[in-house]
């Protein structure tokens, strides 16, 4: 098929039109809006970098950004540790392997919004009840403080995503050369040594993929944030995605929200590209 052919363009036309109208044009408009004082109704005036300068002094945005970063770091570590552990459990020669995979993966099929509501019940009602029974005060009033809200989100996210990451690790673990593992056994390697020197280096590419997925998922988290804590108490668990939404549709500061959205895009792009770059480099060295 040559680019001169009509059929080439006919094959591409539907997705090209859709991508252009849904992603590219809004992105360009968005960058333009971020330099205006547009409020969503009247067409705005050009104000240069005003919105971006305002952002530097915006405590709320700074806080949500920092909260998002902390959340992402905690989630990435936990999800990968749990995900790899689950993968190691279900790939060992146990009878319930298939059944366990099915269970661990299940939360990923259900929407983040619904999962957030389920966990809201567990944190508020069940935790309080358990706290009563075993006499631990700390279990009461979950989600009512910034700290418990933070861990609530991390627990929810880890429970949901570990099964997904497990599936990725399984794909690599099942491709491990058996001779190598047997050779290690014969040489008298213990379980830890087997893991440290054989399994871990060989599943490193899986780490690249899962790191990319966990990072971008936790950084862009919205549904779970909305339904579990709603950003509360006092917006202290509000992550960036939700903060942008609030600025735009809650406070009707469209242009300002758009400037935040542009910065958000830049951060996501830089993190994703750096992460992929370094992970790839590390893989080669191993």
Partner 1 sequence: MGRKKYYIIEIIGVILALLWLSPFYLMIVNSLKSKKEIFTDVLKLPKAFNLDNYIEAFNQLEFIKTFLNSLLITVISVAIIIIFSSMAAYALSRNKGKMSGVLFFIFVAAMLIPFQSVMIPLVTIFGKFQMLNRIGLIFMYLGFGSSLSIFLYHGTLNGIPKTLDEAAKMDGCNKFQTFWYIIFPMLKPITVTVGILNTIWIWNDYLLPSLVINQEGMQTIPLRMFFFFGEYTKQWHLALAGLTIAIIPVIIGYFFAQREIIKGISDGAVK
Contact 15, 22 (CB under 8 A): no
- 272: its two tokens: 């994703």
Contact 223, 231 (CB under 8 A): no
- 85: its two tokens: 């552990």
Cα separation, 114 vs 137, in Å, equals 28
Q: How far is the CB of 78 from partner 1 (least distance, A)?
A: 14
* Through-space distance between the first and last CA atoms of the chain, rounded to whole angstroms: 41
Q: Whose Cβ is closer to partner 1: residue 78's or residue 226's?
A: 226
Contact 223, 111 (CB under 8 A): yes
Q: Whose Cβ is closer to partner 1: residue 57's or residue 93's?
A: 93
Q: Whose Cβ is closer to partner 1: residue 30's or residue 146's?
A: 30
Contact 212, 41 (CB under 8 A): no
The HSE-up count of residue 109 (CA atoms within 13 Å, CB side) is: 5
Q: Whose Cβ is closer to partner 1: residue 49's or residue 265's?
A: 265
The DSSP result for 132-153, as a single string, is: HHHT-GGGTTTTSSHHHHHHHH
Q: How far is the CB of 245 from partner 1 (least distance, A)?
A: 7
Q: Whose Cβ is closer to partner 1: residue 26's or residue 62's?
A: 26
Q: How far is the CB of 243 from partner 1 (least distance, A)?
A: 9
Q: How far is the CB of 77 from partner 1 (least distance, A)?
A: 18
Q: How far is the CB of 187 from partner 1 (least distance, A)?
A: 14
């Amino acid at each position: 098929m040559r680019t001169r052919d009509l059929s080439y363009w006919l094959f591409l036309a539907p997705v090209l039109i859709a991508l252009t109208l849904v992603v590219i044009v809004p992105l360009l408009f968005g960058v333009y809006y971020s330099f205006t004082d547009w409020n969503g109704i009247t067409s705005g005036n050009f104000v240069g970098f005003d919105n971006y300068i305002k952002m530097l002094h915006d405590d709320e945005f700074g806080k949500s950004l920092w909260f998002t970063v902390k959340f992402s770091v905690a989630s990435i570590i936990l999800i990968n540790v749990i995900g790899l552990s689950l993968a190691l459990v279900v790939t060992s020669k146990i009878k319930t392997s298939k059944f366990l995979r099915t269970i661990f993966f299940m939360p990923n099929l259900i929407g983040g919004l619904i999962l957030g509501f389920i966990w809201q019940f567990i944190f508020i009602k069940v935790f309080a009840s358990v706290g009563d029974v075993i006499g631990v005060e700390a279990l009461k009033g979950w989600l009512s403080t910034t700290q418990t809200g933070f861990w609530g989100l991390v627990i929810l996210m880890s429970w949901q995503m570990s099964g997904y990451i497990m599936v990725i690790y399984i794909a690599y673990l099942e491709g491990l050369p058996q001779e190598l593992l047997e050779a290690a056994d014969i040489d008298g390697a213990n379980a830890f040594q087997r893991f440290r020197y054989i399994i871990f280096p060989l599943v490193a590419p899986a780490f690249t993929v899962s790191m990319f997925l966990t990072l971008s998922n936790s950084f862009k988290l919205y549904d779970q944030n909305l339904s579990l804590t709603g950003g509360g108490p006092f917006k202290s668990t509000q992550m960036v995605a939700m903060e942008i939404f609030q600025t735009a549709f809650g406070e009707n500061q469209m242009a300002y929200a758009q400037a935040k959205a542009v910065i958000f895009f830049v951060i996501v792009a830089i993190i994703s590209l750096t992460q992929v770059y370094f992970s790839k480099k590390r893989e080669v060295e191993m």
